[in-house]
Amino acid sequence: MPDKSNQQNPGERIAKVMARAGLASRREAETWIATGRVAVNGAVINSPALNVTTSDRIAVDGQPLPRRERTRLFRYHKPRGLVTTHSDPEGRPTIFAALPKDLPRLISIGRLDINTEGLLLLTNDGGLARVLELPATGWLRRYRVRAKGRVIQPALDKLRAGITVAGVHYGPIEATLDREQGANVWLTIGIREGKNREVRKVLETLDLQVNRLIRVAFGPFELGDLGDSEVKEIESQALRTELGEKIVAEASADFDVPLIEHDARPISPRQPETRVKRDSHDEEPPQRGHPNDKKKQPRRDRTGGPRPSRPR
């Protein structure tokens, strides 16, 4: 049944407001509320079923909620060796620790595993992140894939009808054989769901072992010539055009709020994260080492495939 109290109470759900402030995703915000970390007008709350307005005072761990910022989106070229999380219980290096310090607090739109490289979208708007991650949005994620083995195009064409692997159904997959190179093949793969390890699991059914995975596009946004570890903001006008009015409305994105300059990335009120099953695709077992450690860097690719900095 509808919550009549919230129908009569103006404003927005508190988790949505917290996500919009870029402090956390909506799901994370609900977890923080349930653990007693959030207070409204001085009183600790334990349920996200609460609407708040601009007149309410919201605090997380005693710190005031950051003021609302303009919706911003950044393209980031994630290298191998970094995990897509704000903190890692195993102590592995994270993408957020590697970002420039003058950026606002950002969250990722989906995740790339430690061994996957390429385009990762980052935003300060949790509402936008949630909408773009929804299966209903259906944006195409495009990858360049190197895999050990042999395959013919007709076998790849069958993936357009979808496939079920170990009881999990994967929707239509666009797959093109680009070329053979030694013991490997190079493929271009397009998926819309992004289920856990989707590309790897599906290709395993064709006796292909993925040994390099590069995301080159997410919806209308492309990796292009973005260099390793480089981050670049998408201008507000171009962003609004690419998103379209439907997504802008669903995400409650705001392009009219003035920009806020950040001398240093704000410290988020986070406690150490616990290990949970990730929703993103292509997660792999942990690897040790940091990409800045020259002795542990992966060797430059010699197979004729695209270099990490400029995959096409």
Give the contacts of 306 (CB within 8 A, at least 6 positions apart): 144, 214, 312
R_g of the chain, CA atoms, integer Å: 21
Ramachandran category for residue 225: left, alpha or beta (phi over 0 → left; psi -120 to 50 → alpha):
alpha
88 is catalytic: no
Query: Could you count the other beta carbons within 10 Å of the beta carbon of residue 164?
Result: 9
Q: What is the DSSP letter of 207?
A: T
Any idea what DSSP says for residue 36? T
Q: Which of 113, 157, 207, 263 is catalytic?
A: 113
Helix (H) or strand (E) holding 142: strand 141-148
Q: How far apart are CA 74 and CA 217, in angstroms?
A: 13
11: amino acid identity, one letter: G
Residues designated catalytic: 113
